[in-house]
Chain A
Amino acid sequence: MGHWMAWARESALALALALAASPAAGAEAARPAGGPGTKAEARPEVLVEAEAPPFSEGIFPCSSCHADLEKNGTRRELAFHDEQQSIFSHDAEHRWCLDCHDLQNRDVLRLANGAHVPFTESYRLCGQCHGDKFRDWRAGVHGKRVGMWDGPKTYFLCVNCHNPHSPRFKGVEEVVVGGKKTVAPTLTLIKPEPRPHRPEEMRP
């Protein structure tokens, strides 16, 4: 009887110990698989937004002209904004200015559901239709990031590489906005660097 009691007490203790230890053991086992364990060693991930490319000179805020103009929501050829109309190739057959620009408040963009989005968050507008690219971009798969692979990094916005009115990628150029270097889309293709020397050209 005494033996049995001792055994029972021991096994209960062992069980209690095992139960108490198991969450910790589970956490230990989970470490190498990733998550908090590997994250703790890495530097905190800080994502910094790149400066958006500048607006065409004197065009923003839009309300400085549009405040006094009559609001006309009918789809038509504009008499003004030729610099955008001439290059417009963003599903031009189906879309026009007011699909993205807001009729009432010209200084913001407009989502399909009517919500307003500031120009600085234009990626939310792009993401409505280009959801797959948007997801990839947020994960760092689409687009470009510079800086540290395990620390602070700058990510570029849709508008740093794609002209919203002619979004097919052609090229980018370095620009300085507010004293910070960033990139802006161009309408011309990137000029490639020269080819490597052939072996026969390398003889001194």
Chain B
Amino acid sequence: MTRKSLPLIEAGEAAPGAPERPLDPARRAFLRTAAAGSAVAALSSCGLDMEDFLRKHFKELSPAELGRVLAKVEQRNQARFGRKTTVRADGPRPGVEFGYGLDLSRCVGCRRCVYACVRENNQSREHPQIHWIRVLEMEKEHGVDLAHSEIYYEAEGVPRPGKFYFPVQCQQCRNPPCVKACPTQATWKEKDGIVVIDYDWCIGCRCCMSACPYGARHFNWATPNLPAAELNPDQHYLGNRPRPKGVVEKCTFCIQRTRQGRYPACVEVCPVGARKFGNLLDPESEIRKVMETKRVFVFKEELATHPQFYYFYAT
């Protein structure tokens, strides 16, 4: 036989301290199958099936496979909430890069955006309560300074004299630390700038949460508490579809709305018109007018995350 193959490792052959020799490919394949088999046995007890476990990464799915995955999510929604939902997976549009502007001179800290986001994006209502937007009350004397900020400010008497309000959500960084930290590539940046999470791919290690300098990622410590009557049935696979326990979630610029050309829910609800949204590549867009005519800054600029979320002062 002329074909050479790596020698099989015989029991007791490897001398102690000798460098480990690579496994025979056939043996590796066998081990992999065996591991997969035992994993599948374990999976059957947690409600997942073989197809979910062995499917390809979201970005590698063929249209037919994606269709099956979406149909399965709709089935799961039906089983969990008893309601018909539409789960889409619209891709990024060419020539579009989203930008978000927030006018700090207008925000009055009313938290309408927080709760509109919760309703739109099917977050857990309580136990655990998850808010993708967090409004910080800061002191005018200190400016944007987290050391002098308060998330849990009481509603009464707002806006308070001497304070200003600084909403924080995912900044959709161009250089996202969370994406670098993810060990499973369950989170990535899309072409239009949205950093998305595949909840089926997330293993709940929370490395991304510790990497994010904005506290914009939130973990489902328990199964989300979402009343069926309040479910938003208009869903996106990478956005507001209901999450299972043990995955991380975050703002997606309302991907289910913005990929269809609509404004995000927080923009539409803001009673003072402090929130601006549009295509950074379109010179006529509102966000470009903001960038060109206003005093704009990004949060924690020194970290070089290069957010696509801009704060500005219109006055």
Contact assessment for A35 and B273 in the assembled complex, using a CB-CB cutoff below 8 Å: no
Least CB distance from A40 to B in Å reads 9
Which of these, B94, B95, B108, B155, contacts A195 with CB under 8 Å? B155
Is there contact, CB below 8 Å, between A141 and B268?
no
Most A CB contacts (10 A, CB to CB) among B152, B273, B279, B289 go to B273
Q: Does B82 contact A (CB under 8 A)?
A: no
- B-chain residues with CB within 8 Å of residue A183 when the two chains form the complex: 271
Within 8 A of A (CB), among B279-315: 279, 281-286, 289-290, 293-294, 314
Query: Which residue from chain B places its CB closest to the CB of A173 in the assembled complex?
Result: B271
Q: A41-B95, A148-B261 are in contact. Are A139 and B279 (CB under 8 A)?
A: no
Q: How large is the interface on A (under 10, 10 to 19, 20 to 34, 35 or more residues)?
A: 35 or more
Please tell me if the beta carbons of B286 and A193 are within 8 angstroms of each other in the complex: no
Residue among A144, A146, A202, A203 facing the most chain B CB atoms (10 A cut-off):
A144
Please classify the interface of chain A as helix (H, G, I), strand (E, B), loop, or mixed, using the class held by over half of its residues.
loop
Within the complex, the shortest CB–CB distance from B51 to chain A, in Å, comes to: 33
Distance (whole angstroms) from the CB of A157 to the closest CB of chain B: 12
Contact B114 A196 (CB under 8 A): yes
Instruction: Tell which of B108, B153, B272, B285 touches A149, judged by Cβ atoms closer than 8 Å.
Output: B285
Most B-side CB within 10 Å, residue of A146, A147, A171, A191 = A146
B153 contact from A146, A156, A195, Cβ within 8 A: A195
Cβ of A143 within 8 Å of any chain B Cβ, yes or no, is: yes
Residues of B within 8 A of A191 (CB): 110, 155
Residues of A within 8 A of B236 (CB): none
In chain A, positions 117-144 with a C-beta closer than 8 Å to chain B are: 136, 139-144
Q: Given the complex, which residues of B lie within 8 Å of A153, measured CB to CB?
A: 263
Of all chain B residues, which has the CB nearest A148? B261
CB of B61 within 8 Å of the partner chain: no
Q: Is B224 an interface residue (CB 8 A)?
A: no
Q: Which residues of A contact B282 (CB under 8 A)?
A: 34, 38-39, 42, 150
Q: Is A97 an interface residue (CB 8 A)?
A: no
Q: Is A202 in contact with B110, judged by CB distance below 8 angstroms?
A: no
Binds A, one of B40-48, B67-75, B123-131, B241-249: B123-131
Residues of B within 8 A of A45 (CB): 284
Q: Mark B2-13, 1 if CB is under 8 A from A, else 0.
A: 000000000000
Q: Report A-chain residues with C-beta under 8 Å of the C-beta of B148.
A: none
| Chain A proximity mask over B221-255: 1 for CB below 8 Å, otherwise 0 | 01000000000000000000000000000000000
Q: Are B273 and A144 in contact, with the CB atoms below 8 A?
A: yes
CA distance A140 to B101 in the complex (A): 12
User: Given A43-B261, A149-B285, are A202 and B129 also a contact pair (CB < 8 Å)?
Assistant: yes
At the interface, yes or no: B206 with Cβ under 8 Å from chain A? no
> In the assembled complex, which residues on chain B have CB atoms less than 8 Å from the CB atom of A195?
111, 151-155
> B263, A145: Cβ atoms under 8 Å?
yes
Q: Are B158 and A192 in contact (CB under 8 A)?
A: yes
> Given A34-B282, A41-B94, A139-B289, does the pair A193, B273 have CB atoms closer than 8 Å?
no
Please determine whether B111 and A193 come into contact, CB atoms closer than 8 angstroms: yes
Contact (Cβ within 8 A) A39 B279: no
Please measure, in the bound complex, the distance between the C-alpha atom of A164 and the C-alpha atom of B224, giving whole angstroms.
46
In the bound complex, residues from chain B placing their C-beta under 8 Å from that of A159 are none
Q: Which of A142-188 contact B (CB under 8 A)?
A: 142-151, 153, 156, 161, 169, 171-172, 183
Does A114 reach chain B (CB closer than 8 Å)? Answer: no
Q: A141 to chain B: closest CB distance in Å? A: 5
Give the shortest distance, in Å, between A123 (CB) and chain B (any CB): 14
B152/A148 in contact, CB under 8 A: no
Q: Is B276 an interface residue (CB 8 A)?
A: yes
The 10 residue pairs across chains A and B that have the minimum distance between CB atoms:
A144-B273, A140-B286, A193-B111, A192-B155, A34-B283, A139-B289, A148-B261, A192-B110, A192-B158, A197-B129
Residues of chain A whose beta carbon lies under 8 Å from any beta carbon of chain B: 34-35, 38-39, 41-43, 45, 136, 139-151, 153, 156, 161, 169, 171-172, 183, 189-198, 202-204
Residues of chain B having any CB pair with chain A under 8 Å:
93-96, 108-112, 114-115, 126-129, 131, 134, 151-155, 158-159, 222, 258, 261-263, 267-268, 270-273, 276-279, 281-286, 289-290, 293-294, 314
Known contacts A140-B289, A141-B289, A196-B134, then 18 further A-B pairs from the complex at CB < 8 Å, ordered by chain A residue: A38-B95, A38-B282, A41-B95, A43-B261, A136-B293, A141-B286, A141-B294, A148-B262, A149-B262, A161-B272, A171-B271, A189-B108, A193-B111, A193-B112, A193-B114, A193-B155, A195-B153, A197-B129
Q: Please list 12 pairs of residues, one from A and one from B, whose beta carbons are closer than 8 Å in the complex, sorted by A's number.
A: A41-B95, A43-B261, A141-B293, A147-B262, A149-B258, A150-B96, A190-B271, A192-B110, A193-B114, A195-B153, A196-B131, A204-B127
